[in-house]
Amino acid sequence: MTTVSVVGVGYLGAVHAASMASIGHTVIGVDVDERKLAELSAARAPFFEPGLPELLEQTQDGDRLSFTSDPSAVAPATVHFVCVGTPQRADGLHADLTYVHAAVDSILPHIGPGHLVVGKSTVPVGTAAELAGKVRATGAELAWNPEFLREGKAVQDTLRPDRLVYGVPDGEPGERATQQLDEVYATVLDRGTPRIVADYPTAELVKTAANSFLATKISFINAMAELCESAGGDVTVLADAIGIDDRIGRKFLNAGLGFGGGCLPKDIRAFIARADDLGAGEAVSFLKEIDAINLRRRERMVELALGVCDGDIEGVRITVLGAAFKPDSDDTRDSPALAVAAALHAQGAIVTVTDPQGLENARRREPELTYEEDLTTALTGADLVLLLTEWSQYRELDPVALKELVAQPRLLDGRNVLDPAAWRGAGWTYRALGRP
């Protein structure tokens, strides 16, 4: 087994570190956030991710996993994973690579010949080539190994990924890098995971291209939802019908409020910006409309709320079910649910938001809203209910029992996950995006 370091133990890094330790490697996690380090050192996940707490407890029992703020601690490792964030820059669409450069720079004095630095962060094409020179100056080599994690399933996606992609240099250095990565991922590869070896640019493009394709598929069905609303069609039946075609597939054809989070929105915007830099902006210009369609869904949900309230939501008590951008996560970055809640509040509604895991993060982002942990309390006396994050407990709500709690039985299903007949049969006014 190998001693590896993981530089940056946020969402990606913490999961990767614990997963690598669980398959037998000795792992040293490094970060500048002392609070996060203290939580992880105590085998507590600093964010909600199913399976991660158990993995942290399992791997720290045998001293295979440790965390520190001292970059020199990476010296015993021979493979160093860079797992820091690349948020959207404040001054435009480009990705902010400050943390990537800082992470690599922090370990340069502590690496040397035979070491491999492995980028996992999502970066614009060309970043690896830019970093490779400074890494090689130490005698070490650079590879790029993009991540494909889904929040809520990150442990599964790390230990049993659907593919591994290596971006490596040409010739013997690339062969050595591939061999080192194969040794790290031996357990994963033994399970039959496909492995693709590519050059730096291709490996960098895989992640942004994949995210852009998924965003395109989501926005396509949401565009069809807009058309269904105008034509009187049902986008859910439409999605079922076209999804049977195996060239299209049913996954990611769930019309509704659209995508959010810390990956898809900023990644497609960074992709647009980088393509413009390379003189290939026209090739991905369609992504601008993909982004616009996605943001338009939030506006449409506010319009639906106004419609069922006769055009005026001033003083209307609205309960929003969901703050996280998706279920099984506490991530509220660019959350459609939270954006809609804030927009309703801005128009005078009395908005209460509830969520099983995301309230603390939501409160930091939108402090003016009212937050309630208890679902029953949140729903009691509501004039309008909006289901905006499809947590299982919201999908399983009993419309008959719920009707006894609210002041007016009106519900907007922002994720198209409820049975309209059941809710209307229980006396509710039910509306959903893209459905009659």
Closest CA to 333 of 266, 413, 257, 253: 266
Residue 353, by phi and psi: left (phi above 0), alpha (psi -120 to 50) or beta? beta
Tell me how far apart the alpha carbons of residues 316 and 303 are, in angstroms, rounded to a whole number: 14
Token pair in block for residue 231: 């034509």
Q: Which one of 83, 228, 263, 309 is the catalytic residue?
A: 263
**Is residue 285 helix, strand or coil?**
coil
Longest dimension (CA), the chain: 71
263 is an active site residue:
yes
Six-digit token string for 212: 């852009």
Return the number of other C-beta atoms located less than 10 Å from residue 389's C-beta. Answer: 31
Q: Which of 360, 260, 373, 369 is nearest to 318 (CA)?
A: 369
Q: Tell me the C-alpha distance between 77 and 118, whole Å.
A: 12
Cβ partners under 8 Å of residue 426, min gap 6: 399, 400, 403, 409
Q: What single-letter DSSP state applies at residue 284?
A: G
Measure the CA angle with vertex 327, ends 124 and 398; round to 5°. 160
Cα torsion 274, 279, 283, 289: sign: positive
Please classify residue 76 by burial: count the beta carbons closer than 10 Å to its beta carbon, then call 0-12 exposed, 13-18 middle and 19+ buried.
Answer: exposed
Report the alpha-carbon distance of residue 26 to residue 62 in Å, rounded.
10
**Amino acid occupying residue 15:** V
What are the residue numbers of the active site? Answer: 263
